Amino acid sequence: MKERRTPVLGLIVGNRGFFPDALVEEGRQRILSVLEQAGVRVVTLSTEDTKCGAVETLEDAEKCARLFQNHADEIEGILITLPNFGDERAAAEAVRRSGLKVPILVHAFPDDPEKLDPEHRRDAFCGKISLCNNLVQFGIKFTDTTLHVEAPESPQFKQDLETFLAICRIVKGLKGARLGAVGARPAAFNTVRYSEKILERFGIAVETLDLSEVIARAQKLDAASTEVGRELERLKVTFHPAGIPEEALQKMARLSVALGQWIAAEQINAFAFQCWTAIEEIYGVVPCAVMSLFSESMIPAACEVDLMGALAMYVLMLASGKPVALMDWNNNFGHDPNKAILFHCSNFPCSFFTKCEMSYQHIIAGTVGKENTYGTVIGKVAPGPATFLRLSTHDTEGIVAGIVAEGRFTEEEVATFGGYGVVEIPQLRTLLQTIVKQGFEHHVAVAKDHVGRAVEEALKTYMGWEIVRV
């Protein structure tokens, strides 16, 4: 699994001259302490650069802008904090002059109702409104905190900071993202159509690879090579395959190496694969276990050449920092309107399951023969929180649209094969009505975490996509 990099934020501390400097000095230290505790590296003016290390004048704004420009390749987001009313123009000018196009979080300190004398009052409650008015006038996108004013040490601000860092990861990760499409979509699945051109407009490239090419590359690999041996061992250690022919495992290992080489060469962030039925008929295995390994390694792999599903997986991976899966909205669960069964053959990452096993693909075994369908990953999804995301290109409108919701996987059992789990989602009926009325697909990307707020804000505010959150 890839290690999460240390986040880097640019910090702007607002100030207004006729408020006490002590409030700014104290507020700056408090916010820096909270950021340090959160593991954030900060780029900000020092107390030698400007009075109190804050931004109050046009000259201060210019100094801050130059500092941010010098660290433009590092800064993932900007935090503007107001220990007092702040100068609305200076902070906004600092952002504008920096030229950075990154997420911005606007924070203001609360007042103590018992300390509203001239020496202690902040008036940041009011100053935040003025600052945001300037940001809107300047056309600068920003994110608000949950409460209008928050103490930096409060649980609410710490949660807002965590959400903001997730927003920054999503926005940064989508800039220059490269998606892979291996093979053609299933002929029966109009539902996974998408527009490469719309994605390209948002800086997201699509690299294609014919299925025959990856099969040919896999077949040419020496089974005795170090690379194939390493992948074979990985398959065995991960899935403890019992009753799976060695020949099938060898084919999976070679497929994993061939895909890995292509992913590395083309700098692929996530990919979608033609998983039936050509590969079974030509190569003799299903690719599910191999795709599971990639997803577990933080390179999301989607079924059935669902490239927009792969993109949604990538977004959720960026938000949560965890492996993600692609599932079907598959069955009702009794008569409970807020519960459903999510299912796939499957290729879920092993970390999703209570217990992870390798098997064969029951559904298409009757068509291509059981001997050609080894490699599915089966089991029950472990209970816990979940976020669900679907993205689509609406080609006639020229937009990317999406729907996001939160819920949980329950403890309930289902007598079925494949990968499965019962989910409980408040207002599930509203969610499903939105899916069918707006023409979203039957696949949904899933993260084992609650990151819906970060996903909605990143995609709607900063990417400009049309996102519905249920």
Mean pLDDT, the chain, rounded, equals 97
Percent of the chain scoring above 90 in pLDDT: 96
Residue ranges of domains in the chain, CATH in brackets: 8-174 (3.40.50.10940), 178-469 (3.40.275.10)
**Per-residue pLDDT tens over the stretch 395-412:** 999 999 999 999 999 999
Question: What is the pLDDT averaged over residues 258-277?
Answer: 98
- Residue 461 has a pLDDT of 99
Count the Cβ atoms, other than its own, within 10 Å of residue 103. Answer: 27
- In this predicted structure, the answer to whether residue 66 has a pLDDT above a threshold of 60 is yes
- Residue 134 has a pLDDT of 98
Question: What is the pLDDT averaged over residues 74-95?
Answer: 98
Distances (CA, A) of 116 to 3, 26, 111: 46, 17, 7
Q: Report the distance separating Cα 199 and Cα 308, nearest Å.
A: 10
- In this predicted structure, the answer to whether residue 1 has a pLDDT above a threshold of 60 is no
**Per-residue pLDDT tens over the stretch 285-304:** 999 999 999 999 999 999 99
- Residue 119 has a pLDDT of 80
Q: Report the distance separating Cα 19 and Cα 30, nearest Å.
A: 18
- Residue 315 has a pLDDT of 99
**Per-residue pLDDT tens over the stretch 413-464:** 999 999 999 999 999 999 999 999 999 999 999 999 999 999 999 999 999 9
Cα–chain-centroid distance for residue 384?
18
Question: What is the pLDDT averaged over residues 127-133?
Answer: 98
Contact indicator for 14, 54 with CB cutoff of 8 Å:
yes
Q: Report the distance separating Cα 234 and Cα 256, nearest Å.
A: 10
**Per-residue pLDDT tens over the stretch 328-377:** 999 999 999 999 999 999 999 999 999 999 999 999 999 999 999 999 99
- Residue 170 has a pLDDT of 99
